[in-house]
Amino acid sequence: MIPILSTLAPDFEKKFARIVDSRREADSDVAAQVADILRTVKLRGDAALAEYTQRFDGYALADDADWEIPRAACEAAYAALAPELREALELAAARIRAYHEAQLPQNRDYTDAAGVRLGAIWRPVDAAGLYVPGGRAAYPSSLLMNAIPARVAGVERLVVVTPTPRGQTNPLVLAAAHIAQVDEIWRVGGAQAVGALAYGTQRIKPVDVITGPGNAWVAEAKRQLYGVVGIDMVAGPSEIIVIADGKNDPDWIAADLLSQAEHDPTSQSILITDDAGFARQVEDCIDLQLSQLATGKTARASWEAHGVIIVVNDLAAEAPALANRLAAEHVELAVDNPDALMHAIRHAGSIFLGRMTPEAVGDYVAGPNHVLPTGRRARFSSGLSVLDFMKRTSFLGLDQASFAAIGPAAATLAHAEGLPAHAKSVELRIR
């Protein structure tokens, strides 16, 4: 049994601070290995990709047919799906598309009181690269969550890279690629695939933005390449906080906690409750469910190493402050009045309201994006949206009258900053 922390205990703050400060991400060895891989891919292109793919995936990229998965294969995978699975993917795609269409920003073009024309135009990037894992698990839902916002944004070229260990492809991922109308799918993965998307190779043209989840090497590659390309975020292990009172079914809450623990041994699941007896019931349910889960080995490693149960005296008064310090990827509010708690929680990737809203629904069919900040980064960043695939260009226009109204102030500031050419550029027009 893992220890249960109480906010009434004198050493609670010390123990909780240790949880907040803990990092379950890549170490310096990973960073050095990734830097070497990226340098090699930049120098040697396809030859480096072929060598890494043979070494890590046991797959030989011998000729063109080995490198790229054709669209026809994606269409065939879609056609071969069982009807209920096809319908589930289509429902997910439709809801994701509708949610992200509502995110599209509006262009602005107006004239202010001084007569200056101002505004901004939003445009999509030309090409986006989407990383789709193929190791521990392959997720068609992640492909939809990354590709559909890019399409909604208006991106013309969507490129997927995904490892295919020993040449094996996941038909669900291919079917999702068909639904999302992906343009290219390359059989490469790992940091080397991220490098290929950023730098380009003889076969793979470079992209402008790279998004999608991956292991520590993939996340580190994206971090190192930020600036060469745009990225969605540096994603770490999955996280969930469940804030629940004693009125819940402990089996439900146990399953919610394990839904993230089963992702990876470094995932973290945290329960915050005001009922110590309920906390013990949840822990008992977790033990029972772990013995029955096909992913039990992974989930148990996560729960035993990183699981946390916190008992508070007053859920409404204490839980939001704890959640804000943890700034978790997912926060479930399994209480009677979730709105009150939601408005007090400032830092969370996504919030799930009420007893009938498990995080797992959000992973698939709800609509909001499931690509969310981890590692306490919800303090300053947001989940994936159409804006990650777009950029804003501002514009302004002055005529003689509006220039006379604001130009002299610009010249004054230019002189104050010691930039005489700036000042002259303005003053010549004033005269």
Predicted local distance difference test score (pLDDT) of residue 67: 96
3-state class (DSSP) for residue 142: helix
| Strand positions, DSSP E, 50-156 | 108-111, 117-124, 127-131
Decide which of 264 and 274 is more confident.
274
**Whole-angstrom distance, CA of residue 34 vs CA of residue 92:** 34
Q: For residue 26, what pLDDT band results from cuts at 50, 70 and 90?
A: low
User: What is d(CA 401, CA 256) in angstroms, rounded to the nearest whole number?
Assistant: 63
Q: For residue 17, what are its two tokens?
A: 């601070």
* Gyration radius from the chain CA atoms: 25
Residue 262 is among the residues annotated as catalytic for this protein:
no
* Average pLDDT estimate for 319-331: 98
Domain 4-23+236-366 has CATH 3.40.50.1980: yes
Which region holds residue 200: left if phi is over 0, alpha if psi is between -120 and 50, else beta? left
Is residue 318 among the annotated active site residues?
no
Q: Which residues of 165-176 are buried (b: 16+ CB within 10 A; e: fewer)?
A: eeeebbbbbbbb
- pLDDT value at 84 more than 90: yes
**pLDDT score recorded for residue 107:** 98
Please say if the pLDDT value at position 23 is more than 90. Answer: no
CATH T-level assignment (fold) for domain 28-104+125-231: Rossmann fold (3.40.50)
Lowest-confidence pick of 80-94, 126-140, 281-295, 403-417: 126-140
pLDDT tens sequence across 276-293: 999 999 999 999 999 999
Q: pLDDT tens digits for 185-215? A: 999 999 999 999 999 999 999 999 999 988 8
**pLDDT band, very low/low/confident/very high, at 431 (cuts 50, 70, 90):** confident
Residue range 145-177, pLDDT digits in tens:
999 999 999 999 999 999 999 988 999 999 999
Query: Is 136's pLDDT higher than 80?
Result: no
pLDDT at 69: 95
The DSSP symbol for 36 reads H
Catalytic residue among 184, 329, 332, 359: 329
Residue 135 has what pLDDT? Answer: 55
Active-site residue, from 330, 332, 347, 370: 330
Residue 35 CA to its chain's centroid (Å): 22
Q: What is the mean pLDDT of residues 208-233?
A: 95
- Give the Cα separation of 365 and 329 in Å (integer): 18
pLDDT surpassing 80 at residue 88: yes
36 burial level (CB within 10 Å; 0-12, 13-18, 19+) = exposed
H or E, element range at 350: strand 350-353
314: left (phi over 0), alpha (psi -120 to 50) or beta: beta
pLDDT of residue 336: 96
Question: Which sequence spans correspond to the domains of the chain?
Answer: 4-23+236-366, 28-104+125-231, 398-430
pLDDT of residue 137: 63
Q: How confident is the model at residue 235 (pLDDT cuts 50, 70, 90)?
A: confident
CATH fold match for the domains 4-23+236-366 and 28-104+125-231: yes
How many angstroms separate the CA atoms of 428 and 431, rounded?
5
Task: Specify the pLDDT at position 64.
Answer: 84
- Residue 25 is predicted with a pLDDT of 66
